[in-house]
Structure 1
Amino acid sequence: MNIKTKYHGSMEVKKQDILHFHDGLPGFVEEKTFIVLPLGDDNVFYFLQSTQTPNLGFVITNPFLFFKEYDFELDTSHLQKLEIKDEEHVAVYTILTMTDQIEQSTANLQAPIVINTKTNKAKQIILTNTSYKTKHSLAKQSIK
């Protein structure tokens, strides 16, 4: 499948690599399919690229690289919707708000993206009753 992307130009992607967001993303409910593309060779930052809209994408990272104590539980409805049966098939990312200076960039820990790596079903889950916020500074953290 050929897609147009914001940073990688036109590229061929495998259908089995496409993530399916049944409910879209908050604010982008019509956007149902995305792919994770690397940003650089360091395996720290990625781009969550819409397969439908070339200019729509989000810089993401594995939050556990920066926030060692990050922890949350998925409720039964999310587990069922994502068909998660084994935690080894779960990947978690957080959307970053990037600035020219990395010290001012932030991570949204209140709304992680959870992916069932076996089925490629994905959802951005908004955590409630938590101390996590939408803007946690990356500058205060170091890669673990």
Structure 2
Amino acid sequence: MMIQTKFHGELSIDSIQQWEFPHGLPGLEEEKQFVLLPIEGNDSFQVMQSITNTPIALIVSNPYALVENYSISIDEPTLDLLNIKKQEEVMILTVMSLKQPFESSTMNLQAPLIFNSTNQKAKQMILNDSQFSLRQPIGKPAEKGAY
């Protein structure tokens, strides 16, 4: 299957793992199918590209690689929706907002993306924990006022 992507041009996704968001993303409920694409020369970030809507491409990253004190609990509805049975099935990414200069870029720690690598289902889970920010600066402590 060929798709048009925002950053990679036309691409065959036959050999690329596809992820289903059964309820879409908050604000993008109709967007249910995505692929994760590498960013050449940068192992820290990926592009989460919609399969059906070329302009929908989010930069994502592993929050644990950027923030040392990030810790969440996955709620019961998310565990059920994604059919998560064990921790080894889970991959967590956060949506990035890249800016110039790069040091002013932020990540959304308040709404992580939860992936089940066993069944390729995913969900953006909104945390009810105000300890984490929607716009956490890269390289800063995750807890508000942690300095």
Give TM-score scaled by structure 2 length. 0.91
Q: How far does residue 121 in structure 1 lie from its aligned partner after superposition?
A: 0.3
What do residues 83-127 of structure 1 show as CA deviations (whole Å, max 9, x unaligned)? 101111111000011112111100000000000011110000000
Output aligned runs, 1:75-94, within 5 Å. 75-94=75-94
Cα distance in 2, alignment partners of residues 129 and 60 from structure 1:
21
Q: Which one is further off, 76-85 or 11-20?
A: 11-20
1:14 alignment partner AA = D
Cα 1:136–1:90, aligned 2, differ >3 Å: closer, same or farther?
Answer: same
Amino acid at match of 1:12: S
Instruction: Measure the CA separation in 2 of the matches of 1:14 and 1:91.
Output: 22
SS of the residue corresponding to residue 93 of structure 1 reads strand
Cα RMSD, aligned residues only: 1.4
Q: Distance in 2 between matches of 1:97 and 1:118?
A: 28
The separation in 2 between residues aligned to 1:42 and 1:98, in whole angstroms, is: 13
Where does structure 1 lack aligned partners over 5 or more consecutive residues? Answer: none
Task: Please give the TM-score of this superposition, normalised by the length of structure 1.
Answer: 0.93
Partner in structure 2 of residue 24 of structure 1? 24
- The worse-fitting range, judged by mean Cα deviation, of 126-135 and 11-20 is 11-20
In structure 2, C-alpha distance between the alignment counterparts of 1:87 and 1:65, rounded to whole Å:
18
